[in-house]
Amino acid sequence: MLRGKTIIVTGANSGIGKATAAELLRCQGRVIMACRDRERAEKAAQEIQQEAGTEQGELVIKLLDLASLKSVRIFCEEIMKEESRIDILINNAGIYQCPYTKSEDGFEIQFAVNHLGHFLLTNLLLDLLKRSAPSRIIVLSSKLYKYGEINFDDLNSEQSYDKAFAYARSKLANLLFTLELSHRLEETGVTVNALTPGIVQTNLGRHVHIPLLVKPLFNLASRAFFKSPEEGAQTSIYLACSPDVEGVQGKCFANCHEELLLAKATDEEVAKKLWDISEVMVGITT
């Protein structure tokens, strides 16, 4: 049970985030839904509360646009002012294979949302997480990280852009962020771990073009072979709640078991360099 615990879930209005929020609410947690669109968040909140049953925790909606560093800062200022503790931060939100777009801060949108927004969010909430220790940070990555590379000469994809590669790179960045953060959190009582949820039926793939003739077959196959959002959320819930991972630091999980990563995701030199550059990009110093 999570009674008395406060949890932030980014992107909690749909997909894995919504399923995660519903289960944590059912466990009587105080769940802060950090969402970009208030109307969609309120609709999702109603559905979550209906699903959670009579014995449930508290649901709070807060606006957060991870594509905007200003929005991230405002969100964190409000959290620091209004919340006495944060026990669990779940960096769940993400976008997938978008056409080339820049965020309002001038960053390639997938790198901006999937990595930089969560990087700033986590750093700005670290003091509160430390005061709430033992506390946990959970970072959603993807097995597609395997196809990504960190090109420090073109992090903004201005020289060339491939939407699939850009997504994979942002997911590799999530794992390198988890690695470096785990070193910085030693002896603080705050743990950070990542996970890869697998292929899940969500609206994440809305930018992927599927030919009209193939779409019925694709929809049938996705129902048969893809995980449901509830199944996809199980590792997030495990990392949030399970005593089995108490004190576990800097690991990646899949299907509630530790996952071995490729060397590119455990390169400490690249992780440290990416951290330093990310600090400059989001405008923080440590």
> Do 27 and 241 meet the contact criterion of CB atoms below 8 Å apart?
yes
Which segments within 107-225 are labelled E, that is strand? 135-140, 190-195
- Find the angle CA(159)-CA(103)-CA(266) to the nearest 5 degrees: 65
Per-residue exposure over 262-273, b if at least 16 CB sit within 10 Å of its own CB, e if not:
eeebebeebbee
Cα–Cα dist 88/259, whole Å = 21
Q: What is the 3-state secondary structure (H, E, C) of 190-207?
A: EEEEEECCCCECCHHHHH
Cα–Cα dist 227/16, whole Å = 10
The encoded tokens of residue 282 equal 């989001």
167 is a catalytic site residue: yes
Element (H, E) at 90: strand 88-91
Among 96, 161, 167, 238, the one annotated catalytic: 167
Active site residues per annotation: 167
